[in-house]
Amino acid sequence: MDAIKQILLDEIATLNREGRRDNLPRFSFSFLKTHPGLWAIMYLCYALCVALIFSTDMLGWPAFWFATVFVLVMSVLMLMDINPKYRFEDIDTLDLRVCYNGEWYYVQPVSQQALDKILENPQTPDRVRSGIDRLMKQKGEVDFYDVYYLTWGHQQAALV
């Protein structure tokens, strides 16, 4: 079981490295390219807010500067993109990290090289080998959750 975990950890490390998944914020214009209408609406609302600020006696320059800073901060934040790291500990864990990472382990297939290592390992139980073969025939791929469930899922079911 430790050998399978190490193979999965190595695979996750490779995915993190290749996908530049390091939890660091980067500037990216992908949000602007995919949601240009949101940007246009934000600046339209800003213009309406400025018109309202200067058309009333109660608001003035402090409200204008606050609105301007707010719009600029939001613009910068929308240009930030963070690629979250995949972690072995997140597999089959339902908590707030799912909101941030998504359930990546259901959709991210394990590479054929990693599956070959698991199948060739003499410590791999027969139920895991037969499960991987069955899933490859049914789905054509095996994702991280499939390997996790085949390897450790029966232990969790026995505890319940």
- Taking the model in full, what pTM does it have? 0.71
128 to 2, 147, 153: CA distances (angstroms): 13, 7, 11
Query: pLDDT 10s per residue in the chain (160 long)?
Result: 788 889 999 999 999 999 888 888 888 888 888 889 988 999 999 999 999 999 988 888 999 999 999 999 998 988 888 888 888 888 877 666 666 666 788 888 999 999 999 999 888 888 888 999 999 999 989 998 999 998 887 665 444 4
* Core vs surface per residue 130-160: b (16+ CB within 10 A) or e: ebbeebeeeeeebbbbbbbbbbbeeeeeeee
Domain boundaries defined on the chain? 1-22+89-159, 24-83
**Contact between 110 and 11 (Cβ < 8 Å):** yes
Q: N- to C-terminal Cα distance for the chain?
A: 21
DSSP reduced 3-state for 142: coil
Q: Is the dihedral of CA 65, 67, 73, 78 positive or negative?
A: negative
pLDDT tens digits for 57-100? 888 899 999 999 999 999 898 888 888 888 888 887 766 666 66
Q: What percent of the chain has pLDDT over 90?
A: 39
